Each structure stands twice: as C-alpha cells, then as structure tokens.
C-alpha cells in the first residue's frame, strides 16, 4: 500500500468531464486512446480537446503513454476513482468520505457516509494492475483480440460482487446490505463486528463452527459456493454471529470445479478451528449432501447486470479459480486504432448517456471538492 500521489484536482468543468469520459469509452476497445480518437468521441463543440487532455494529465486523472507501436492516453486509478465517485455522489449514494479501513487482496476499503451522515462501506476493486497476468483476450471493434484491461476486470468484479450480495441479502443470508455500485466501486453496509483474523477466543466454539458449516451448506443448497471462505472474509458480531463478505469469485454449484471449491471452503473452516481454537470435529459437510433448493446462481445471471459467460470466465481466471484459456491471438497495440465510424458512434452514444445525467444536475462544486479532498487524502 503506497501513498497516493497528491493530486491537485481543481473543479472539473463539463468539458473536462466529457473528455475524461471519452477516454474511458475509448479504453473499452484500446489500451491506449490516441488524441484523434479521444477528440472524435468527446465531440466538443468548441474544440480544444488537446489542451484539456494535457490538463487532465497534469492532474493525474489521465496519463499519456508510449505503446509499442503508437502512443495515447489512458485513465489512471485516480481518474477511474474520480468517475465512479462522481457518479455515486451525483445520485446521492455518497456524500462524504472518510478513512481507509482495510486492504484486501484485490481491493481497498473505506468508510464513507451517505446523505444522512450514516457511515457506510466503500470497496474499490483493483484487479489486474500490479502484475499484468495473461488475461483472456477479447475482441474489439476491429475484430482483433486484446487483453482484458484492469478497467474491465475491476468493473466486472464489482458488478459481480454487487449481484451476489444482493441475491444473498434478499434471501436473508448474513451478508452486508448492498447499497449501490458504479464501475469498480461497491457501497454496502458497514459491518459492526470483528474480522475473524482478529478473533482468538470464542464463547461457544462448537456453535460458531456449526454456524459456519451450516452457512456453507445453505449457500450450496441455494446453488452457490463462496470460493474464498476463510477468516479474511468472515466477520463476527459482538453476539458471536458470523457475517460473510467478499463475493466476486463466487460460483455456481453446477460449475465443473464446484466440488473442489466446496471442499476447499469446508477445509478452510476445519483448519481455522483446529489452528485457532484447538477444535476438531468429524462432523463436516460433503458436496454430495447438498440438496438444490434455489437457483441463486442463475438469478445473478438474469437480473439485468449485463453479465455474460465470457465475463465470468475472465474474472474467475483472474481470481485464479479456473485455468487460463490459451490466447488465440496475442495482444495488439501494433497499429494505431483507425477511426471506425461505428465505434465512434457507439462511444458517443455511451458518452452522452454518462454526461447527460451529470449535466442535468446543478453545478456540483461542493461534491467535487469533497471527492478531490478525499482522493488527496487517501492512500491506495
Ligand atoms: P478483498 O476482495 O480485497 O479481499 P474484502 O471484501 O475481503 O476485500 O475486504 C477486505 C477487508 O476490509 C476485510 O477483511 C474486512 O476487514 C474489511 N471489510 C470489507 N467489507 C467490510 C464491511 N462491509 N464492513 C466492515 N469491514 C469490511
Ligand atoms: Mg477478502
């Protein structure tokens, strides 16, 4: 965890916001977005895109990079954080920012507050950045394949987490209440409890053991496996009730690797109880005991999150849950993207969608300042 570059974001004008969003749209198909493509997508009436791009680089929301064959702009972490936090702020889900409270394997966790001032939890998904693993490629507008980017992976990770958390919460599972999500950010209830990693004593060890095993079985009977059921992803309330967190890697019990991950989750609990509490029991669930009672796994795929099988593949691969699929063709960045009218039209349409909501709101100087102060003060 390094210190965040201290950035001096001034208030972003609607043109800045448009240009920043144009780079995001361009990055759906290219690792780097060359200036002319950015200009075509942003479609500013006044022109002057290049000056704005330079300014956004100065404020570290964008960076200008040299690719193997062509140069272009990309969003930085800060730029992506900014876009997501701006959306969440505009729709009133967040109104102030607090401190970082946790760092996970693939995320940073912060306390923020909603409009009533209630503390809530913000999880920023950060995938595929530190080590650029060989992610399954996907086709772009040109019919070429390129590596799935951190932007794409972090976004589908957050989407998948929100989808699972919602389906679980609706069924009364002990999980945080999901509040909202945008891009790579998830907002959820702040759990009032202790991370299991910090718990070294329990009033009723066998009871908590049973609660956890019953939770694994109840998930299984609903058609899902958590897949990372360990003390880092379990919290305990003051009255000793477990709460499960961290869902992007969950999978269906119908998945070909399901039994492996079910057994691994069960073994994790047994190991943890042996190690921490000297407790061993011959009583533990088997995959073959599961009785399908619900289709939570299917629901996550049909509830309008736009989640495809291909996305699931890419993500589970990134989480190391499934083997990497051989890349049919290598990543590109060999030729500068040409200006394909269909691509530009599609990007412009998405851009208008993004900015029209923000432009329909009164000037948001106050909330932009809050986001700026937050980004300045936090570490990532
Ligand atoms: P990762 O996917 O990176 O492992 P997690 O969702 O497991 O991220 O969160 C990392 C840590 O942040 C957790 O171990 C926990 O201590 C804390 N945390 C996460 N979500 C919450 C929450 N809703 N309330 C309180 N603390 C949380
Ligand atoms: Mg975790």
The pLDDT tens digits of the residues spanning 112-170 come to 999 999 999 999 999 875 444 444 455 555 555 455 578 889 999 999 999 999 999 99
| Listed residue (186, 185, 205, 187) closest to 196, CA to CA | 205
Give yes or no for residue 9 having a pLDDT over 50: no
Give the model's confidence band at 332: pLDDT under 50 very low, under 70 low, under 90 confident, else very high.
low
Q: Average pLDDT of 230-236? A: 97
3-state DSSP call for residue 30?
A: coil
pLDDT at residue 324, as a whole number: 76
Report CA(234)–ligand 1 centroid distance (Å).
9
CA distances from 7 to 62, 81, 239, 367, 378 (A): 12, 13, 43, 17, 11
Give yes or no for residue 285 having a pLDDT over 60: yes
- Dump pLDDT digits (tens) for 49-98: 999 999 999 988 999 999 888 899 999 988 999 899 888 988 889 988 88
CA distances from 39 to 34, 44, 74, 323 (A): 9, 7, 14, 39
Q: Name the closest ligand to CA 184.
A: 1
Give yes or no for residue 177 having a pLDDT over 60: yes
Q: Which of 104, 165, 185 for a ligand 1 pocket mutation test, highest count of atoms within 8 Å of Cβ?
A: 104
- Pocket (CB within 6 angstroms of ligand 1): 102, 104-107, 109, 121, 123, 176, 188-191, 195, 232-233, 245-246
- For ligand 1, atom 20, the nearest C-alpha belongs to 245
pLDDT at residue 131, as a whole number: 40
pLDDT at residue 99, as a whole number: 84
Mean pLDDT of the chain: 86
Q: What pTM was estimated for this model as a whole? A: 0.88
Report CA(247)–ligand 2 centroid distance (Å).
8
Give yes or no for residue 320 having a pLDDT over 80: yes
Q: Clarify whether 228 is annotated catalytic.
A: yes
Phi, psi of 85 (to 5 degrees): -65, -35
Report CA(107)–ligand 2 centroid distance (Å).
8
| Residue spans of alpha helices (H) in 33-170 | 35-42, 49-58, 77-90, 150-170
Residue 289 neighbours by CB distance under 10 Å: 10
pLDDT at residue 364, as a whole number: 59
- For ligand 1, atom 26, the nearest C-alpha belongs to 191
- Please list, in sequence order, all residues whose beta carbon lies within 8 angstroms of the beta carbon of residue 162, skipping any fewer than 6 positions away: 178, 181, 186, 305
Closest-lying ligand 1 atom to the alpha carbon of residue 188: 23
Q: How far apart, in whole angstroms, are the C-alpha atoms of residue 167 and residue 318?
A: 23
- Please list, in sequence order, all residues whose beta carbon lies within 8 angstroms of the beta carbon of residue 204, skipping any fewer than 6 positions away: 240
Closest-lying ligand 1 atom to the alpha carbon of residue 176: 23
Give yes or no for residue 327 having a pLDDT over 80: no
Give the model's confidence band at 278: pLDDT under 50 very low, under 70 low, under 90 confident, else very high.
very high
- Please list, in sequence order, all residues whose beta carbon lies within 8 angstroms of the beta carbon of residue 25, skipping any fewer than 6 positions away: 41, 347, 350, 351
Q: Which of 16, 228, 246, 314 is labelled catalytic?
A: 228
Between 273 and 307, the more confident residue is 273
| Listed residue (331, 50, 291, 79) closest to 184, CA to CA | 79
Report CA(249)–ligand 1 centroid distance (Å).
14
Residue 66 neighbours by CB distance under 10 Å: 9
Report CA(30)–ligand 2 centroid distance (Å).
30
Q: Which of 245, 248, 268 for a ligand 1 pocket mutation test, highest count of atoms within 8 Å of Cβ?
A: 245
Q: 144-148, 285-289, 357-361, 372-376: which range is least confident on average?
A: 144-148
Q: Name the closest ligand to CA 247.
A: 1
Closest-lying ligand 1 atom to the alpha carbon of residue 195: 16
pLDDT at residue 106, as a whole number: 87
Residue 92 neighbours by CB distance under 10 Å: 11
Q: Name the closest ligand to CA 196.
A: 1
Q: CB–CB of 21/354 below 8 Å?
A: yes
- Please list, in sequence order, all residues whose beta carbon lies within 8 angstroms of the beta carbon of residue 144, skipping any fewer than 6 positions away: 329, 332
- For ligand 1, atom 1, the nearest C-alpha belongs to 104
- Tokens 């851009």 locate to 351
Phi, psi of 72 (to 5 degrees): -175, -175
- For ligand 1, atom 25, the nearest C-alpha belongs to 191
Closest-lying ligand 1 atom to the alpha carbon of residue 246: 6
Q: CB–CB of 229/274 below 8 Å?
A: no
Report CA(369)–ligand 2 centroid distance (Å).
31
How many H-runs (helices) and E-runs (strands) does the chain carry? Answer: 11, 14
């Amino acid at each position: 965890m390094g210190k965040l570059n201290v950035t001096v974001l001034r208030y972003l004008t609607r043109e800045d916001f448009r240009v920043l969003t144009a780079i995001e749209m361009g990055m759906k198909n290219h690792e780097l977005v060359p200036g002319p493509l950015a200009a075509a997508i942003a479609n500013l009436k006044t022109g002057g895109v290049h000056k704005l791009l330079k300014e956004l680089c100065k404020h570290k929301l964008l960076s200008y990079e040299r690719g193997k064959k062509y140069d272009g702009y990309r969003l930085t972490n800060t730029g992506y954080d900014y876009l997501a936090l701006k959306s969440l702020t505009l729709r009133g889900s967040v109104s102030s920012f607090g401190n970082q409270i946790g760092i996970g394997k693939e995320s940073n966790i912060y306390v923020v507050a909603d409009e009533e001032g209630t503390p809530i939890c913000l999880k920023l998904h950060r995938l595929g950045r530190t080590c650029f693993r060989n992610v399954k490629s996907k086709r772009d507008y040109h019919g070429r394949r390129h590596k799935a980017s951190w932007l794409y992976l972090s976004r589908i990770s957050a989407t998948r987490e929100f989808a699972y958390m919602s389906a679980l919460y609706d069924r009364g599972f002990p999980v945080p209440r999901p509040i909202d999500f945008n891009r790579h950010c998830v907002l959820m209830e702040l759990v009032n409890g202790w991370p299991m990693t910090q718990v070294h004593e329990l009033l009723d060890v066998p009871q908590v053991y049973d609660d956890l095993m019953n939770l694994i079985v109840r998930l299984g009977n609903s058609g899902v496996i958590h897949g990372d059921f360990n003390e880092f992803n379990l919290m305990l309330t003051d009255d000793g009730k477990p709460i499960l967190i961290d869902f992007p890697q969950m999978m269906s019990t119908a998945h070909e690797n399901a039994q492996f991950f079910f057994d691994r989750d069960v073994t994790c609990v047994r190991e943890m109880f042996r190690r921490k509490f000297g407790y061993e029991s011959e009583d533990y669930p088997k995959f073959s005991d599961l009785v399908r009672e619900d289709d939570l796994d299917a629901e996550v795929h049909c509830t309008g999150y736009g989640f495809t099988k291909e996305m699931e593949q890419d993500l589970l691969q990134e989480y190391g849950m499934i083997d990497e699929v051989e890349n049919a063709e290598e990543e590109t960045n060999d030729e500068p993207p040409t200006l394909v009218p269909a691509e530009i039209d599609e990007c412009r349409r998405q851009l208008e969608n993004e900015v029209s909501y923000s432009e329909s709101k009164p000037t948001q100087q106050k909330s932009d300042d809050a986001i700026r102060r937050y980004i300045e003060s936090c570490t990532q």
